[in-house]
Structure 1
Amino acid sequence: MEQKLRLRQFEALMAVIHHGTVTRAAKELGVSQPAVSRLLADLSQTLGFSLFDRGGGHLVPTQEVRFLQADIQRVLDLMDQISQVSQSITERKAGHIKIACLPGFATSHLPAVVAQFLKDRPGVSVTIEPDRPERILEWMIEEQFDFGITDGFRGHSAVVSQDIHVRTVCIFPNGHHLERFSEITPRLIADERIIHTRRDSDFFKSLEDAFLDEDCSLISLVETRQFTAACEIVSNGLGIAIVSELDAMQFVHRNIQIRPFSPAISHRLSLVRPTFKQPSAITLEFIDAFAATLAPFEMRVAPSQ
């Protein structure tokens, strides 16, 4: 039966090359002298040639060993690197996380979370790729990304999902006549032109139902996929909008007023990852960290919609 090369044999060989004697090599490796001799004998038998000649009281590597020495050292260095990286992964300090997200998150909330997460993890790197919900779902199914932040997710067997219902608020420019109200209802804004999400979104349907329940019609000004776009328009002095509180707080010092909206409507976010792709420990830790940043804005009991 053909014998296989073992890493410990290479370690013994390089220790003897470095020290010149089996005794010193054994001390460095923390094993007995006979153990080192056996490792060298087995390695010599496997390779098919002698490893050392004697010269001046020291063991001198043969020409064959000299020919292989650089390659052996590279193997040992690589194994040492793998060991260090493995330790870093165990300590959650190394790895790579590929994140897919809604476009608004790529510029408004996620970067700050990533920056905070990476501060104490110098060996961790992150990819952030924004796109529409349909594309994010495809990426999860195809296992191209580790983690996704999306909305409108209706479930899929190849995707694990954690839903978080974020509170929504009404925003309007400073100086608007709505400033005198502590809470905004559909009837109060029935005559206002509203910036809202796409008509085919679950959130728009919930918002429209809230208006219909009070016998009001929603007057459209701008239709946009992103809450951040709605916030930008309002901060420039135009219209009012019903947006997630998470997005509204990014604009709190930018010429807008924020009021609770009644009835309570949540914006359902889904934190998703591939079902059949084993997540790394660092990925799971990041998902937990990201979810924790949403907790202050979470509607604990989702309303019937």
Structure 2
Amino acid sequence: MRLRHIEIFHAIYTTGSITNAAKLLHVSQPSASKVLSHAELQLGFNLFDRIKGRLIPTDEAKMLFEEVDKIYQQMCSIKNTVQNIKKSEFGCIKLGVTPALGFDAIPNVIANYHHDYPNVTFDVHTIHNDEMMQSLLEHKCDLAVLFSPREMQGITQTPLAESELVIVYPKEMFPDSPATLTLSKISDCKFIDISDSGPLGDMLWTRVMEEDISFQSLIKVQTYFIAVRLVASGLGVCVVDRYTAEGNLSNDIAIASFEPALTFSISAVHLENRSKSKVIEEFIPYLTHGVSIS
């Protein structure tokens, strides 16, 4: 069966008539009927029985449909990819961002860019480092903005800014509100642990091991901003990126940098073998400026 045969067969099977199939595919009824006849001629058996003006799938058609449906879904996937590519050319930015940048930084960047380029549309997804490659390959995003993305073959990185891990603590714990703290200063505090937190978590625990520090951790969470909210409830201290800390500040908590500082890079990544569209090239300077000042 040719692809056109598959398309017509699938449409008739699912809609129940040549008339409905022709409307679905935006073709004439005689054209749809002709393609069906040609498909049946090539196959050597009928796909539908004509009974009282209705088309009833034959046993052969029922056996064939499951395999045809798989191909049809792949064809739809190809069409969606084509539409995504065309949108990029006509002013659509599919952007993947690490969740921490969604509090203030990226919304401000998009607002500033949209003011100057009001016809460009955005499709924004939150994305984690381990999802980066798949999202780029599937065209779910054209550009991803991540903390310390690892070097990967086929991926190009554009450095945007540097930030740091910070300690978030209840103000009553350190009434003098120190601007910097060491791990040893918080080693006796209840520690809200963020498990499986990617490259930033690895950086923190490398420092913990270097300084031979152990923490009392009774609460473990998966998400940075939840850890900050728990600190605000007086349940301990946590270590998060500065974006998350500043995006969730309250009157009861304060932020301290590490001593010495624990810094990390923020980079925009895209597939090396796919050239950046004009709108993305124009967007990156806004991105660099907005992430740097946040």
TM-score range, shorter chain: 0.5 to 0.7
1:112 is the counterpart of 2:108: yes
1:87-98 residue pairs with structure 2 within 5 A?
95-98=91-94
Mapped to 1, the partners of 2:251 and 2:111 lie a distance apart of 23
Counterpart residue number, 2:96: 100
Mapped to 2, the partners of 1:233 and 1:149 lie a distance apart of 27
Cα 1:200–1:106 change in 2 (3 A) is closer
Mapped to 1, the partners of 2:99 and 2:208 lie a distance apart of 28
Cα 1:278–1:212 change in 2 (3 A) is closer
Mapped to 2, the partners of 1:222 and 1:285 lie a distance apart of 44
Q: What displacement does 1:224 show? A: 3.7
Computed over aligned residues only, the root mean square deviation of the Cα atoms, in angstroms, reads 2.7
Mapped to 2, the partners of 1:137 and 1:173 lie a distance apart of 38
Mapped to 2, the partners of 1:98 and 1:267 lie a distance apart of 24
1:248 is the counterpart of 2:265: no
1:154 is the counterpart of 2:154: no
Cα 1:131–1:176 change in 2 (3 A) is same
Cα 1:172–1:282 change in 2 (3 A) is same
Mapped to 1, the partners of 2:191 and 2:104 lie a distance apart of 22
1:138 is the counterpart of 2:115: no
Mapped to 2, the partners of 1:229 and 1:291 lie a distance apart of 27
Q: What displacement does 1:199 show? A: 4.3
Q: What displacement does 1:243 show? A: 1.7
| TM, length-normalised to structure 2 | 0.61
Mapped to 2, the partners of 1:183 and 1:105 lie a distance apart of 23
1:285 is the counterpart of 2:286: no
| TM, length-normalised to structure 1 | 0.59
Please tell me the residue identity of whatever aligns with 2:154: A
Cα 1:266–1:221 change in 2 (3 A) is farther
Please tell me the residue identity of whatever aligns with 2:153: S
Please tell me the residue identity of whatever aligns with 1:249: E
Cα 1:265–1:111 change in 2 (3 A) is same
Counterpart residue number, 1:216: 213
Counterpart residue number, 1:29: none
- Post-superposition Cα deviations, 1:123-178, rounded to whole Å, max 9, x if no partner, equal 11100012332222212234442110223522222221134431222111232236
Counterpart secondary structure, 2:259:
coil
Cα 1:267–1:235 change in 2 (3 A) is farther
Cα 1:119–1:260 change in 2 (3 A) is same
Mapped to 1, the partners of 2:260 and 2:234 lie a distance apart of 25
Q: Is the 8 A contact 1:196 1:241 kept in 2?
A: yes
Instruction: Tell me the matched-pair count.
Output: 206
Deviant stretches of 4+, over 6 Å: none
Q: Which runs of 5+ in 1 are unaligned?
A: 1-88, 298-305
Q: Aligned residues: percent identity?
A: 21
Q: Is the 8 A contact 2:157 2:268 kept in 1?
A: yes
Higher relative contact order (CA 8 A, sep 6+): 2
Mapped to 2, the partners of 1:151 and 1:137 lie a distance apart of 15
Counterpart secondary structure, 2:94:
strand
- Post-superposition Cα deviations, 1:91-112, rounded to whole Å, max 9, x if no partner, equal xxx7110011223334443222
Cα 1:222–1:192 change in 2 (3 A) is same
Mapped to 2, the partners of 1:262 and 1:187 lie a distance apart of 10
Counterpart residue number, 2:121: 125
Mapped to 2, the partners of 1:265 and 1:193 lie a distance apart of 21
Counterpart secondary structure, 2:184:
coil
Mapped to 2, the partners of 1:96 and 1:200 lie a distance apart of 31
Mapped to 2, the partners of 1:243 and 1:187 lie a distance apart of 17
Cα 1:161–1:221 change in 2 (3 A) is farther
Q: What displacement does 1:249 show? A: 1.7
Cα 1:201–1:122 change in 2 (3 A) is closer
Mapped to 1, the partners of 2:197 and 2:241 lie a distance apart of 17
Q: What displacement does 1:281 show? A: 2.0
